Structure 1
């Protein structure tokens, strides 16, 4: 039946069946009426075109053959020449289903799985990319074994010997989760001087904040520290997490508070860190302020006690040095044109020798410049 329909450019599917009496009502893939769009704000499509074709297949108990009866031979659509238009011809068999599950366990991407399956399939069986994603989704759902994704995640962390702590509400839902690995704790013991803290909220299905703690090695490489799932990014939430999770984590692992903590422009996190780690220096990362403005802000705190006039005279003397310093870092002044005898060379001698720290990351302020040029932020100069 399927081979005959395929030769005519159609695909047969089961509309309804009665297994007890061995009766099947067959129709084409485009039979039936489209479902009503319950959300008018979204544009939805359907393959159903209300095709009237019907075919009944019956096998009686005392017979070894099937009886076919065509109820309506008409179609409401034309036949197709490309079999890729019929998903019924691209279904996976048991061997391919098992192979996709093994590829998923090996962390292969769906496009890599598609290339391997395509080389093993017959030429008359199409392979649709979306079918692989759908099968991977079924594999993920099977691994949950009825558990919620967050509970499956916690069980996996326990199996991998992660150090974790969680908080649940009255209904049993997890409101906070903190976890790290023993190897990460050793790395933080070896490099406790600078810690980077940042929060992202669009990398999971629930859109909840994901708080990261990252360390820096002596080779200027980042090392994983810990991860914490939070309720929200408000100051009370940060304060509670820092007190209940971070402080206990530092005490239980004998870690000293980091001298320097680098964060994004999260004022709520900054205020919470000042309460918990008053002796640590909190530095903003990747801000858009120029070097001159940052230095002026720091210098003003020093000179505010000795008078505004002295502060203005001091800034008038240091402004040319700051400008020269910016020109060198942004490439406006070639390095070979800087005389060694110049008085202000001492201010940018070290950054020139450490280009990996003072490099020019992607993202230009001026659209006319190349993308690898922009004013360095304060954190990039340190």
Structure 2
């Protein structure tokens, strides 16, 4: 095997069929020879197998149907996003490689083009080599529907000789099945469809453009638990993880034994006190008609604090110790020496774990 691939590449005419059993053709191939093929598909399969054995992958870059076929490196050209700027940073394997092969019925024309990057150490780094065949697609779909985890599915595929498929391949196929199962509905529409077809309690707000701005939903068993364990609730949110830029808020209850359970969830377009008031009022109507929570724990959000004072004026509003500890590390750690900071953290953890007022005053 030549590394890096520094050879002259020739056209692949596809006139006569030379190879028939590509699955058993596993020898290390030399630089692409001048071969003949009966059809375009066999030409592409042979070229892909040759590239894979040398640590590369090829993709079909034929602009239109005709007498010529163009195959290029999978890192050919530059990445161009079709979705515009996104919140999350992404990477690309495109590096401007100019490597190309050409298959034609006409006379061969040599192409003196080199790869501008070294070969890969394993075929699994090339998505084109990770694709599942038709039999594997049917098998993986059944395993996904049976709630098998990716590691279990990969183990099953590896035992059958497929050593190139990765978790990313499975995640992408699972996403494809999800889109297929929505029957043309958007994610928001499909979520509402699922909620309406289930026993989940839900409500939403829609603006003048028929766009959902607020969505609240809770399971009946959570409501029943909330009626029994109504003393403490915790409200937290996840940010920048939704393609619609809607933060997801999670309301959590606590039992007498210290175990937590999900009370409700809600999406909110604008994180302001009006949205919080709407969500807390929905929560209050479902869980606490006769009584209200004694303690509400949040992440120090000013708008949420204002909403709590309006909806639950008699509840005690405490700040989450995890968020406080996180802010301490971010803002105070730089003012301590390493040993002093460890001592400070030890005393701080002792203080926040106090079980009574007397113990708190003693640890203070």
Over 3 Å counting, the alpha-carbon distance change for 1:210 and 1:31 in structure 2 is: closer
- Is 2:139 aligned against 1:99? yes
CA RMSD of aligned residues (A): 3.8
4+ long deviations beyond 6 Å:
36-39, 287-290, 370-373
217, 221, 227: which one pairs with 2:265?
A: 227
Q: Which residue of 2 aligns with 1:153?
A: 191
The residue that corresponds to 1:49 in the other structure is 97
CA distance in 1, matches of 2:80, 2:340: 50
Cα 1:375–1:7 change in 2 (3 A) is: closer
Structure number with bigger Rg: 1
Q: 2: CA distance between counterparts of 1:153 and 1:94?
A: 30
Q: Which residue among 59, 66, 72 is the counterpart of 2:110?
A: 72
Runs of 5+ unmatched residues, structure 1: 58-67, 291-363
Aligned to 2:342: 368
Report the CA distance between 1:377 and its aligned residue. Answer: 5.2
Per-residue CA deviation, residues 237-277 of structure 1 (Å, 9 max, x unaligned), is 3223333x2233347xx452223323332232222222222
| Larger RCO (CA within 8 A; separation ≥ 6) | 2
Count of residue correspondences: 291
* Pairs within 5 Å for 1:224-373: 224-243=262-281, 245-250=282-287, 254=289, 256-286=291-321, 367-369=341-343
Aligned residue in 1 for 2:238? 200
Structure 2 unaligned blocks of 5 or more: 1-42, 326-337, 357-364
- Could you report, residue by residue, the CA deviation over 1:267-326 in whole angstroms, capped at 9, with x for unpaired residues? 322222222222223233317889xxxxxxxxxxxxxxxxxxxxxxxxxxxxxxxxxxxx
TM-score relative to the length of structure 2: 0.65
CA, structure 1 residues 378+126, in 2 after alignment: closer, same or farther (shift >3 Å)?
closer
Deviation by residue 1:60-117 (Cα, 9 ceiling, x = unmatched): xxxxxxxx75343544239958661654443211122223333333444434432322
Q: Distance in 2 between matches of 1:188 and 1:130?
A: 39
Q: Is the 8 A contact 1:284 1:379 kept in 2?
A: no
CA 18–262 in structure 1, closer or farther in 2 if over 3 Å, else same: closer
Tell which deviates more after alignment, 5-14 or 191-200: 5-14
For residues 214 and 380 of structure 1, what CA distance do their matches in structure 2 show? Answer: 22
